[in-house]
Each structure stands twice: as C-alpha cells, then as structure tokens.
Amino acid sequence: MLYELRVYDARAGKLPALNDRFANHTTGFFKDHGIGIIGFWTAEIGTSNQLTYMLSFDSMADREEKWAAFGADPRWQEVRAETEKDGPFVDSVQNSFLRLTPYSPEPHMTTAIQEMRVYTAMPGKFPALNERFANHTMNLFEKHGIENVGYWTADVGTSNQLTYMLGYDGLGDREEKWGAFGSDPEWHKARAASEVDGPLNRRAQNSILRRTSYSP
C-alpha cells in the first residue's frame, strides 16, 4: 500500500472555504475514484492556515491513474471553478509518498489529537532506529496510553526518515503521557543500550494536529 501525505498552505482567510469544499465535494470525488482516505487535520498548535491529509493507493501506478481521473472529472472541475471564482484557495502544496514499516499497525485513530513526528536518522543508524521502535518504543508508548496510529518510511526521496503518528485525548493528556514516557526507566535503559555508539536520531520535527469534522 502506498500512502500520500499532503500539506496545503491556504491563502489568507481561505482555510474555512477549503475545508468546506473538502467536506462537501472533494472527499466524495475521492471515494468515487477509489482513492483511500486516512485522515484530514488542521493544526492544533502552530500554523493556522494549513490543511494536512493522507490518502492511500495500491501502488504508484494506481495513484497516477486515480489522481488523473479525479483531476479530469468534470464535476470536480465545475466545483473548483465555482468555488475559486474569487481566486485560488491554496498557495502551495507539499506532498510525500510513504510506505508502512513492517512493525506498524494499520493506521487507525480513536483519539481527539494526533501528533505527527518526523525523525531524520544519523548516517547508517536508520535500521537501528527502526529496530528500537519495533522492539521497545512502541510498547512503551502503549504502556503509557499513547495511541500508535502508524509508522512510515519514504517510498520516494529521503531514505533515512521515519514519519509516525501518535494519538492523545487532548493537549493535557499529551503532556502527561509524553512526560511519563520520557521519564520511564525502561525507556532510558533501551535508549542507552541502543546509543552506545552515539545518537540514532539527528533531527526531529513534530506537529500537533486535530482531525477535521469531516475526517474519517
């Protein structure tokens, strides 16, 4: 399964209209063309004009076929023309293509808040980073009530990045559970054992997100 992560930077004041179009039109067209929908999110903390969403396809060829069919759908073209008669909704689009790691659960969400984290591994350390997640970190997240939503590596592009998503009941719940995980002696032991030759992770980025009302 191929996953496509897309981040839209909306033009000033256009995010509500963009969300409205997805809710009332675009998601329906995606379903009509067999495009899988994992989720839609807006930022809970930070950038307030971004829409993040994730789709799924059988393969890159399947993605190209279905995306082209969606783009050529006259109903979509009509809706887009009508809704953008005063100008486009989106300034820029970032997208990345991902595959689930062997240890990832099938992506699922039961929580209100999701945290997307992107780790860039130190040179040569990516296998060890994945091994630590598979054998230790995921279990410790679960121990502290943190939902493991999904874990992905890049299918195209950067080969040493791990993208993963966690779930919490709210911001306070996130702070409490992340703090408990970070102070857990089991985590300190696993981290120390895996980093005897140096850190595994060079850089970490995280985004705190909330699912939109129309997200699955």
Q: What is the spatial distance between Cα 85 and Cα 187, in angstroms, rounded to a whole number?
A: 54
Residue 156, pLDDT score:
74
Residue 157, pLDDT score:
66
Question: So where are the chain's domains?
Answer: 2-97, 100-211
Tens digits of per-residue pLDDT, 75-117?
A: 999 999 999 999 999 999 999 999 999 999 999 999 999 999 9
Tens digits of per-residue pLDDT, 17-64?
A: 999 999 999 999 999 999 999 999 999 986 688 999 999 999 999 999
Residue 159, pLDDT score:
82
Tens digits of per-residue pLDDT, 120-172?
A: 999 999 999 999 999 999 999 999 999 999 999 998 766 899 999 999 999 99
82: left (phi over 0), alpha (psi -120 to 50) or beta: alpha
User: Residues 112, 168: contact at Cβ < 8 Å?
Assistant: yes
Q: Which two tokens stand for residue 25?
A: 């039109």
Name the architecture of domain 100-211: 2-Layer Sandwich (3.30)
Q: What is the spatial distance between Cα 92 and Cα 109, in angstroms, rounded to a whole number?
A: 27
Q: What is the spatial distance between Cα 199 and Cα 48, in angstroms, rounded to a whole number?
A: 33
Say whether 100-211 and 2-97 share the same fold. Answer: yes
pTM: 0.93
Residue 158, pLDDT score:
66
Q: What is the spatial distance between Cα 74 and Cα 117, in angstroms, rounded to a whole number?
A: 37
Name the architecture of domain 2-97: 2-Layer Sandwich (3.30)
Nearest alpha-carbon partner for 106 in 138, 41, 151: 151
Burial class (CB in 10 A: 0-12, 13-18, 19+), 191: middle
Q: Please, what sign has the CA dihedral across residues 178, 183, 187, 191?
A: positive
